[in-house]
Amino acid sequence: MILSSFLLALAQVSDPRFRSVLWRGIGLTIALLVGIYAGLLWLIAVLTAEPVTLPGVGQITWLGDLLSWGSLGLMILLSVFLMVPVASAITSLFLDEVAQAVEDTHFPDLPPMPPIGFFEGLRDTISFLGLLIAANLLAFGVYAMLPFAAFFIFYALNGFLLGREYFQLAAMRRIGRVDARAMAKRHQGTIWIAGCLMAVPLSVPFINLLIPVLGAATFTHLFHKLSR
Question: What's the pLDDT at 77?
Answer: 64
State pLDDT tens for residues 66-84: 566 666 666 666 666 666 6
8 Å CB contact between 101 and 36 = no
Confidence label for 190 from pLDDT (cuts 50, 70 and 90):
very high
Strand partners, 52: 60
**How deeply is 105 buried, as exposed, middle or buried, from its count of CB atoms within 10 A (0-12, 13-18, 19+)?**
middle
pLDDT value of residue 222: 92
* E-only strand ranges, the chain: 52-54, 58-60
Please determine, for residue 158, whether its predicted confidence score (pLDDT) is greater than 80: yes
pLDDT, residue 191, reads: 92
The mean pLDDT of the chain is: 77
Given a contact cutoff of 8 angstroms between Cβ atoms, the answer to whether 195 and 161 are in contact is yes
pLDDT tens digits, one per residue of 104-115: 888 888 887 776
Q: So what's the pLDDT on residue 177?
A: 83
Which residue in 130, 137, 106 sits closest to 218, CA to CA?
106
Distances (CA, A) of 46 to 18, 43, 49, 51, 212: 42, 5, 5, 11, 37
- Termini Cα distance of the chain: 12
Gap between the Cα atoms of 39 and 33, Å rounded: 10
Q: How confident is the model at residue 136 (pLDDT cuts 50, 70, 90)?
A: confident
Q: Residue ranges per domain, the chain?
A: 2-227
Cβ-proximal residues to 176 (8 Å cutoff; 6+ apart), any chain? none
Count each helix (H run) and each strand (E run) in the chain, helices first: 9, 2
